[in-house]
Amino acid sequence: KDDNNKEQCTDLLMEPVVAENIDKPIESSLTIATRFLGVFYALVSTFIFTISIKSTKQEIFFLFINVFCTTSGIFAYYLAYRYLTLPDVITIRFTQVIWTAIITTVLYREKPSIPMIVAILLTTIGVI
């Protein structure tokens, strides 16, 4: 600490940084509510848009399944960045197309087309 109660960083690899009044806690003007206000507005507008579309109950059900799976997939993707090695995460990321095609055929009870089967095989070969 110097004579003005400010702490300085003296590490050779870092730039000199001066922390203002180290004894006081850092004051933040943003609250949690204001940080996520943009996300909240986007969710509300998406919800209003979804409700305004004339959809069947089955389509709305599939839409909520889609939202749940997408959100959990994004959280899992960022958690994978934290806990897995980068090559493993990239491999899992590029097999997402395969899982989307397989789950689509199961949910919609469709027969897989020839291009879909070829794409699944090529993606599997590319990952291996």
Is residue 91 over pLDDT 70?
yes
Mutual orientation of helices 114-127 and 96-107 as an angle, nearest 10°?
A: 150
pTM beyond cutoff 0.95: no
Alpha-carbon gap, residue 113 to 44, rounded angstroms: 37
Question: Which tens digits make up the pLDDT trace of 41-60?
Answer: 888 888 887 777 777 778 87
| Backbone torsions φ then ψ of 100, nearest 5 degrees | -65, -45
Confidence of residue 14 (pLDDT cuts 50, 70, 90): low
Per-domain residue ranges of the chain? 26-83, 85-127
* Predicted pLDDT at 120: 84
Q: Where are the beta strands (DSSP E) in the chain?
A: 7-8, 18-19
